[in-house]
Structure 1
């Protein structure tokens, strides 16, 4: 109760400070940005806590906070928050940096050896979990009047993503994360991420160049594969020695700076190679897949994730609130867009649910495995945000897709919970 009161006081203060500052004529960039950050972070924390109380992921609360801030005009408040975010260079760069760190953490949490060990079941579920959403997403996009070209491919790619973090937390909280069905879900989700990032590499290059030709597509695919293979090979050769050198110091800040610079460095290398910086950040995380980190007297891989989390959590919160702020709730008044949201949500659930039935052998809950792949979460939002930033999606389409991601993130765990007893 006391915690709730403290958050309530902070929220009221965060809501009042910006209006007081602007009323006093404070228009400097620092003041605007500082007050916007106070408002974003406080409201995101409050909404995240509220949604967690109802058993929903914190991610849903952060995006909902952005949706509230971006649609204040609907309740008579003349404050264009999304325009404020667009006009702020700091907010723009923070969102781009958040994407880099988010993909770095996704790569860091992915274990290549575990991915290779999960066997044919996880590989089959992963491949079907990418192929079915892409094909069904393309068909649904065409049927709903969304351009079947690059827009349709981005819709399909967004639906192919799987949020391993959301499902993993649910499996762990119910004590079934070591079960065979859970191992298939987690292994398939990691493979999904790798395949999805490869697909993003191709689509991002096409979106940036603005042209599509089969010869160019072949070059982009070869370039992406060579970048992945080359970076991983070099990293596996150099990374252990580099980590051993850094282990000579006991200062944790060295590791934070190392991880931060590694993510940025590989993001820039990917940009030099003509690929999206996100691809480089993901590969940077994969490079640290098999490396042990000694921080003081502690030898533990997850230590690096814990050290970079304080930075990434703030930036990723800004990113998710910004994603929500760009959503226009007016689209929910359009019957066509409402139908689009319903159809794409059905595609999101059915395509992943069907993938679970490719599992072979006894002792598996196939329907539960499929439901465990349903949440799109942060990876799906990365695809939607990137496409919107590149001008691939209109605001209406983008708003509908964010709602689809939110619905899948809520529906997936709700469908999975009753099946956990069978794991």
Structure 2
């Protein structure tokens, strides 16, 4: 018997079934959401690998570096053309993504979940791309020679300094006096000209068999130093944009932290070399050599990122350290399949995020940017080509190749544009001009680099046992 005054506390007949449905559906919805994100990531990887393979093979058949084909393949599938691979940071929305549309029509993705799924997919692919860049620089470090890199250190430092000062000064002064751009945006534009994409240049050098050449070592060393100098310049101009003045601490911190990190990583690595070999010899399961090496590389990459340097610097330093061990050849072989899987994601993603729409003269807002971009591109190329003239004490060296190797701005230049845009100091024309400069220098450098090395490409040299023991 139910008491009348408790009737209002008695749930209706449909309430238990509703509770049961909600309790069962909540985790199911989360699981379905995660499953659809994974489905989107898998489709993205299919597109990435297909674009990288087709683009790389076509580029190689035409006599160009495969990396150029991967970049072009990324452009075709990305925001500029097919919209198969688009990212929120490129200004795209979920409705622009063909993958999201496909998930909605075939997998039941709801419109309410589309934006969250699109954002999560983009984050996963971007992280995989960054991981690809880290693995690439670790591989490049393994292929380099620390002693030879240190031997060209003075030349590399001068090349890097010239490659920062000349384009920065030329770009800033030209934007102010030729285009009437205010001082702070002009400084930002000049700063964007200082960058060099070590990932793109080193990949091309490796492909054409010039990474271990004297020119290749100078380019590589200068690109590393240039990366550090670029971080310093970015810190200065970002501070100037925010506060109107330069914080001395923002300038000194990157210099000190980069110097301490690189020197400390190499010294620590030399101490741990013997221990690494001893540990690797005791490990009997799969990955006995490559896993400990990647742990060390990722730790150094983490430290570099934690102190606000580029994570790729840590990976490069780790590769240089292991280059001196007698496990180098084994590491070199084992890192190749990992790089083959991750590095194409990096290059295709760079191309996919590049919006060639800013080059369309039919859009009125692009016209001013096109004129300004023509000037910036000229300064960007000339400002890096002249760096080869700064090389001293190297008779017979290909100075033009060194200058050309410093041209591509790649993702580093886009970082400058992104920071400038976020700060609000850049006009649409100035921002478009910087993006155009980054696009053109990134895409013309790989074929130019092969052209200036006129001799036939040589195979990557293997180190002799005697040289390793030395």
Q: TM-score range by the shorter chain?
A: 0.7 to 0.9
Structure 1 segment 233-244 matched on structure 2, within 5 A? 233-244=267-278
1:314 lines up with 2:341 in the alignment: yes
Q: 1:270-285, aligned counterparts within 5 Å? A: 270-285=304-319
Q: TM-score, normalised by structure 1?
A: 0.74
Q: Is the aligned partner of 1:157 residue 2:195?
A: yes
Q: Which residue number in structure 2 is paired with residue 193 of structure 1?
A: 223
SS of equivalent residue, structure 1 residue 55: coil
**Given the alignment of the two structures, is residue 384 of structure 1 paired with residue 410 of structure 2, yes or no?**
no
Q: Relative to structure 1, is the Cα distance of residues 346 and 81 closer, same or farther in structure 2, using a 3 angstrom cutoff?
A: farther
Match of 2:460 in 1: none
CA distance in 1, matches of 2:455, 2:317: 36
Query: Helix, strand or coil: the match of 2:253?
Result: helix
The offset of 1:52, in angstroms, is 1.4
Going from structure 1 to structure 2, the CA distance change for 1:415 and 1:268 (only over 3 Å counts) comes to closer
Change (3 A) 1:165 1:38: closer
Q: 1:139 to 1:63 in 2, by over 3 A?
A: farther
Report what 2:44 is aligned to: 36
Cα shift readout 1:259-314 (whole Å, capped 9, x = no counterpart)? 32222211222233343433322322232242220xxxxxxx24323312222232
* Equivalent residues of 1:267, 1:277 under 8 A apart: yes
Contact conserved, 2:381 with 2:441, CA < 8 A, in 1?
Answer: no
- Distance of aligned partners of 1:195 and 1:135 in 2 relative to their CA distance in 1, 3 Å threshold: farther
Q: 1:403 aligns with which of 428, 431, 440?
A: 440
1:114-125 equivalences under 5 Å are 114-118=148-152, 124-125=158-159
- Computing the radius of gyration from Cα coordinates, the structure with the larger value is 2
Counterpart contact for 2:163–2:387, Cα < 8 Å: yes
User: Structure 1 residue 41: deviation in Å?
Assistant: 0.7
Q: Give the counterpart of 1:109 among 125, 133, 143.
A: 143
| Contact 1:98/1:315 (8 A) holds in 2 | yes
User: What corresponds to 2:379 in structure 1?
Assistant: 347
Residue 213 of structure 1: how far off its partner (Å): 0.7
Gaps of 5+ in 1: 1-25, 294-300
| More displaced stretch, 160-169 vs 405-414 | 160-169
Which of 323, 326, 351 does residue 292 from structure 1 map onto?
A: 326
Q: Say which of 80, 93, 100 aligns to 2:127.
A: 93
Give the 3-state SS of the residue equivalent to 2:289 in structure 1. Answer: helix
Q: Aligned in 2, Cα 1:342/1:168: closer, same or farther, shift over 3 Å?
A: farther
| Alignment partner, residue 12 of structure 1 | none
Partner of 1:323: 350
The yes-or-no answer on 1:48 pairing with 2:78 is no
Cα pair distance change 1:392/1:59, threshold 3 Å: farther
Computed over aligned residues only, the root mean square deviation of the Cα atoms, in angstroms, reads: 3.9
| Residue 14 (structure 1) aligns with | none
Q: Kindly state the Cα deviation for residue 27 of structure 1 after the two structures are TM-superposed.
A: 8.3
SS in 2 for 1:156: coil
Deviation at 1:67, TM superposition (A): 1.1
Match of 2:404, SS? coil
Contact 1:202 1:224 in 2 (8 A): no
C-alpha contact (below 8 Å) 1:239/1:288 kept by paired residues: yes
Hey, what's the Cα distance between the residues in 2 that align with 1:318 and 1:124? Answer: 33
Q: How many residues align?
A: 376
Indicate how the Cα distance of structure 1 residues 357 and 384 shifts in structure 2: closer, same or farther if over 3 A, else same.
Answer: closer
Q: Which stretch shows the higher mean deviation, 336-345 or 311-320?
A: 336-345
In structure 2, the residue matched to 1:62 is: 70
